[in-house]
Amino acid sequence: MLLDILADAGAAYCLIGGLAVNAYTEPVVSLDLDIVIAVKDVERLCDLAAHRGFIIERFKYSINLTSPKSDLRIQIQTDERYQAFIARSTLKEVLGYKMNTAAPEDVLQGKIWACSDQQRRKSKRLKDLADILRMIEANPDLEKLLPTEVRERLE
């Protein structure tokens, strides 16, 4: 349903977060779908989603979309740092669906930002570290992009 709404909105987007990690590694099941949408397309997408029964919740750096018909938790990342990821994204298959997905370097960068955010729950930050490790195991050349602090936490 979300992919239909994105198509109807003509929205530029890319998948980020744990499901994006799945595009480059062995998949791990997640109910979270993290996505960045071009700023110019966010309101149109939210309007279309609301008309299709989604509940819209707005936060400082995200917009959450939920549907009573699904357990999937959709989070639109509104932090400006993620906008550049869209231009570098490519079409990848993720859990049977073709979606624009952030480049591996960008997925890793998003995970670095997430695991370094002390405002996030510790359990979320640890999952982000595990996702970083999964990315590096599948793409060893990405290890050079790790900041010293994150590298030390992985050891």
User: What backbone torsions phi and psi does residue 37 show, to the nearest 5 degrees?
Assistant: -120, 140
DSSP designation for 80: G
Q: How far is CA 48 from CA 37, 51, 131, in A?
A: 14, 5, 32
Structural domains in the chain (count): 1
pTM: 0.93
Which amino acid, residue 47? D
pLDDT (tens digit, 0 to 9) for every residue of the chain, 155 residues total? 899 999 999 999 999 999 999 999 998 988 999 999 999 999 999 999 999 999 999 999 999 999 999 999 999 999 999 999 999 999 999 988 999 999 999 999 999 999 999 999 999 999 999 999 999 999 999 999 999 999 999 98
Residue 57 pairs in a beta bridge with 64
Which of 57-79 are b and which e, b meaning 16 or more Cβ less than 10 Å from the residue's Cβ?
eeeeeebebbbeeeeeebbbbbe
Residue 93 pairs in a beta bridge with 98
Contact 45, 19 (CB under 8 A): no
- CATH of residue 134's domain is 3.30.460.40
Q: How many Cβ atoms sit within 10 Å of the Cβ of residue 83?
A: 16
Give me the domain span that covers residue 70. 2-154
